[in-house]
Amino acid sequence: MSGHAGAADGRRLAVSVALEPMEADPIAQTPLEPDANSRPPNIVIRGYGQYYDVRTPEGIVRCTVRGVLKRARRKTDPVAVGDRVEITLTGPGEGVIEAVAPRLRTLSRRARGTEDVEQVILANPDQLVAVFAVAEPEPHPRMLDRFLIIAEARGLGAAVCVNKIDLDPTGELRRIFDPYRAAGYPVIETSATTGVGIDELRAILRGKVSALSGPSGVGKSSLINALHPELDLRVGEISAVTGKGRHTTTATTLILLDDETYIADTPGIRQLGFWGIDFEHLDRYFPEFRPYLDQCYYADCTHLTEPGCAVLAAVEAGSIDLDRYESYRALRAGTGDDR
């Protein structure tokens, strides 16, 4: 239902799940399948400082947050886009968020200037779609690896969207993404300009809450416009000086494509920080490593220098891509840019 809810009788919009507003949620390390029948129907779709737009069965309600939630969740955002919430209506199209359902998963990073405070980019996503362009700006596989590691660590499904393929008529530029196909990730090639691949992307998104994440300028907003033309999201330009994209999305927005499909247009992230990643088990977050992990001579093999390492042998044999391994090696050895 579109539009704003008009009730102003102080009703608390009913939910069918026991809500727990008092404790921060642990970081999910394994996939959890949400029960659609037990999740609150009200979902936060946008935040504006102290205000949040909540989509309810009765329409969109602009809400503030009950103070007890702010006090109880000091190590994480008390409310985030994607949260399922219970609200009380206070006026036409206005309300107060009273409680937040436990988060099944989060796409998060460390809050700027802190060591232990979580900034939730998106709550309760089902998958992360990492969007990179073949050119303008030039793709950086190490950044893509970071997105995929975060998805793996959070128990999220992951896919790679290679956009602007109209800039690569020979197909040569997109070969840089071949190792991700080999690792088992769906790789969708798209052009928001020509419409190529949009139907395939729509099929990947259908029925899920998906985060479209990637560096600025790769065409996330253009892709969303192609999926949902009436939105007419602002499209950024590429700086001729830096070759990097100008930010056009300043906050996460959850967009309803149909009754069962949401996509989150997340802000461009030039340097993605890790949050809650267990680097002792980093090898688990590289799918192409998994067939070899129980074949190493040492049970606690780091796959860096140990003799009898099955992962190193697979790299030497060409079964694991060398660049992907070097990305793992830099992070495992503690020399990655944002360790």
117 assigned to some structural domain: no
Instruction: Give the C-alpha distances (Å, rounded to integers) separating 112 from 118, 120, 206.
Output: 9, 12, 33
73/162 same-domain check: no
Instruction: Give the C-alpha distances (Å, rounded to integers) separating 152 from 253, 323, 338.
Output: 23, 19, 18
Q: What is the DSSP string of 261-294?
A: EEEEEPPP-SSPPP-S--GGGGGGG-GGGGGGGG
322/226 same-domain check: no
Q: pLDDT class for 31, splitting at 50, 70, 90?
A: very low
222/318 same-domain check: no
137/250 same-domain check: yes
Q: What is the pLDDT of residues 250-303, one digit of tens each?
A: 578 899 998 889 999 776 444 456 777 889 999 999 999 999 999 999 999 999
Q: Cβ of 300: how many Cβ atoms within 10 Å? A: 7
169/247 same-domain check: yes
Is the pTM here over 0.85, yes or no? no
287 assigned to some structural domain: yes
55 assigned to some structural domain: yes
197/168 same-domain check: yes
Indicate which CATH number applies to the domain containing 59. Answer: 2.40.50.140
Q: Which of 261, 259, 260 is nearest to 224 (CA)?
A: 261
* Domain's final residue, options 58, 88, 112: 112
Averaged pLDDT score across all residues of the chain: 83
286 assigned to some structural domain: yes
274 assigned to some structural domain: no
DSSP class of residue 245? B
203/147 same-domain check: yes
pLDDT at 306 over 80: yes
261/310 same-domain check: no
43/136 same-domain check: no
Residue 67: which domain range?
1-112
36/155 same-domain check: no
Indicate which CATH number applies to the domain containing 304. Answer: 1.10.40.50
106/141 same-domain check: no
Q: Which of 2, 112, 108 is nearest to 55 (CA)?
A: 2
181 assigned to some structural domain: yes
27 assigned to some structural domain: yes
Q: Output the pLDDT for position 13.
A: 62
CA distance 285 to 278: 10
**Across the strands, what pairs with 106?**
123
106/135 same-domain check: no
273 assigned to some structural domain: no
Q: Domain count for the chain, please give it.
A: 3
Q: Output the pLDDT for position 6.
A: 54
* Domain's final residue, options 215, 242, 265: 265
CA distance 141 to 154: 20
Q: What is the pLDDT of residues 33-75, one digit of tens each?
A: 445 455 678 999 999 889 999 999 999 999 999 988 877 767 8
Q: Which of 331, 276, 275 is nearest to 302 (CA)?
A: 331
Q: Output the pLDDT for position 202.
A: 96
CA distance 88 to 68: 14
Residue with tokens 């139907």: 199
